[in-house]
Every structure is written in structure tokens, then in C-alpha cells.
Amino acid sequence: MQAIGLPDDAVGIDFLIVMGGPQDPDTTLEACPHFNAKAEQALIAFAVKTGKAVIGICLGSQLIGEALGAAVLS
């Protein structure tokens, strides 16, 4: 199975659903090579800035919060 990366931007996206997972927003690439929280947050921020609907579930909600400047407490 080949991994599919994140798109470079949200231009071709109508809405974004950010799913949950066992990670947290502070998980590093070294700890989890297939999860790039900073890249996901950048995509989320771009989607919000360009008026896309963004929905987050569990970790997805935390990533949306951090992308918009909120602090996530554990």
C-alpha cells in the first residue's frame, strides 16, 4: 500500500474533515513518521483562511484549535 500525502493547499477542496487518531498535536515526525501535525495544521489554516468548511473529530478538533491559535491542554 502506498501512502498518500497531504495536498499542498486546499484550492481543490470543498470541505475538510480532520479525523482522530492516537497521536496528539505535539507528536513529532520522529515519534510517528506518517503523521505531520505541523503540515496538517498548515492545511487547516489555509482551508479556514480561504473560507472552506472544516470539521474535526477528536484529534482533528485539537489540530483545528492549534491551527487557529488555541492552546491544547492534555
Q: Which pLDDT value is given to residue 35?
A: 92
Report in angstroms the alpha-carbon separations of 34 from 6, 12, 29.
11, 23, 7
pLDDT in tens, 10-50: 788 899 999 999 999 999 999 999 899 999 999 999 999 99
pTM: 0.86
